[in-house]
Amino acid sequence: MTWSISSCFITLFVLFLWRVEDIAEACSCSPAHPQQAFCNADVVIRAKVVGKKVVEAGNDVYGNTIKRIKYDIKQIKMFKGPDRDIDAIFTAPSSAVCGVTLETNGNKEYLFTGKLETDGTMHVTLCDFIESWEAMSATQKKSLTQRYESGCKCKIIRCTSIPCTISAPEECLWTDWVMEKSHSGPQAQHFACINRSDGSCAWYRGIAPPKKEFLDIEDP
């Protein structure tokens, strides 16, 4: 009986360590408004995924081979990035380390935001804004060409509980979570936080460019 109890304890301890390691490796990131994702990204493109394979990307500090998923893509339009087409994107091999899983049949169009590595390759994670092109609102699509970029000097503050306030005139308060319990609410779908002539920032709704009257007034 003593041996059985000890064995159970060892088994439970091993499972505990495995679970701790699993939690430690879990991907975690703070939700971002589409405008924030655009402004923070090195590359923003619309593309289809046409292929997938596992590739080696060097070794870690222990000498273990680092695996990456390479997605071959067909770029449709670049909204931000280098002066060349992107033909592949790379991601980690599992969601536990923020890897992204994508459809590879070439039928689905995506909007990708991501980072450029030092070797010129594009890398994406679960923390980037990656969305089906079809699921995006008309305002989001239109904002990719000018609106979001014009507000990159603004700071969007995510409200997670009430009360919440801004502390500077160049900030916009993002309240989708407290109002809708979703990070894809009206402000994410239909608004951009843009600079005005006095240096402050304010939410602007609509597809058309902001009128001069909106930019010049002190309050939206």
Helix (H, G, I), strand (E, B) or coil at 220: coil
Look at residue 200 and give its three-state secondary structure: coil
- Report whether 39 belongs to an annotated binding site: no
Token digits of residue 63: 């000498």
Report which DSSP code applies to 80. Answer: E
Interstrand relation of 65-80 and 191-195 (parallel, antiparallel or unpaired): unpaired
Tell me the C-alpha distance between 203 and 154, whole Å: 10
DSSP letter string over 8-68? HHHHHHHHHHHHHHHHHT--------HHHHHHH-SEEEEEEEEEEEEEEEEE-TTSPEEEE
Give SS3 for 126: coil
Whole-angstrom distance, CA of residue 71 vs CA of residue 50: 7
Q: Judge contact between 174 and 165, C-beta under 8 A.
A: no
Q: Computed over its alpha carbons, how large is the radius of gyration of the chain? A: 22
What stretches of the chain adopt beta strand conformation (E)? 43-59, 65-80, 88-91, 109-116, 122-123, 130-132, 155-158, 171-174, 191-195, 201-205
Q: What residue numbers does the annotated binding site cover?
A: 27
Q: Where is the binding site for Zn(2+), in residues?
A: 27
